[in-house]
Amino acid sequence: MAYTAKIKVTLRQSILDVQGKAVEHALLNLGYGSVGSARIGKYIEVSINEDDALAAERICNEICLKLLSNPVMENYSFELEKA
Amino acid sequence: MAYTAKIKVTLRQSILDVQGKAVEHALLNLGYGSVGSARIGKYIEVSINEDDALAAERICNEICLKLLSNPVMENYSFELEKA
């Protein structure tokens, strides 16, 4: 059984998101006045070949902490789906 | 009423994802043999100040096509949530 982990990595709320600010300004300049804040993160899809959902979840947490996110500046969340 | 659009922008399946390949190799080198493919995209949260859900959806589609994604190489999907 394989699982697909859909991972979102976002900057912590207290960290200034310059890329998001650039998108906000660009949207204002394009005439979208109703768009407020924008924040940019990463979206990662990883397939995990494990039979056990708990094992897949443990692996997903580990790779998020070790490789995919910077825990000092970023939060992550994920959903596991059977593939 | 404001809406929060949670937008995922992913590379089309036919496009080589070099960043994803790098993550796959890194995970293998870290000893995660059960991890198969990895694909990397963008995750964007935008707040849209519109009363009407349909108007918010229209705006979200427009900004995805015009600014947030490159329709030639990328797909996008989004969820609208009442904020």
| pLDDT on residue B83 | 80
Of A34, A38, A47, nearest to A11 by C-alpha is: A38
Q: How far, in Å, CA of B7 to CA of B81, rounded?
A: 11
Chain A residue closest to B28 (CA)? A63
Chain A residue closest to B32 (CA)? A59
A30 CB near a chain B CB, below 8 Å? yes
Of B44, B45, B52, B63, nearest to B1 by C-alpha is: B52
Residue found under tokens 């897949």: A56
User: Is the predicted pLDDT of residue A1 greater than 90, yes or no?
Assistant: no
Which strands, in side-by-side order, build the sheet including B74-82? A74-82, A3-11, A35-48, B35-48, B3-11, B74-82
Fill in the DSSP letter of residue A61.
Answer: H
Provide the pLDDT confidence category of residue B1 given band limits of 50, 70 and 90.
Answer: confident
Q: How far, in Å, CA of B59 to CA of B70, rounded?
A: 16
* Backbone phi and psi for residue A53, each to the nearest 5 degrees, phi listed first: -60, -35
Q: Do A34 and B48 touch (CB under 8 A)?
A: yes
Q: Is A78:A12 a contact under the CB 8 Å cutoff?
A: no
ipTM over 0.95: no
Tell me what the pLDDT averaged over chain B comes to: 96
| pLDDT on residue A83 | 80
May I ask the CATH class of domain B3-82? alpha beta
Residue range A44-53, pLDDT digits in tens = 999 999 999 9
For residue B9, give how far its alpha carbon lies from the nearest alpha carbon of chain A (Å): 8
Q: How far, in Å, CA of B39 to CA of B25, rounded?
A: 12
Residue range A10-45, pLDDT digits in tens = 999 999 999 999 999 999 999 999 999 999 999 999
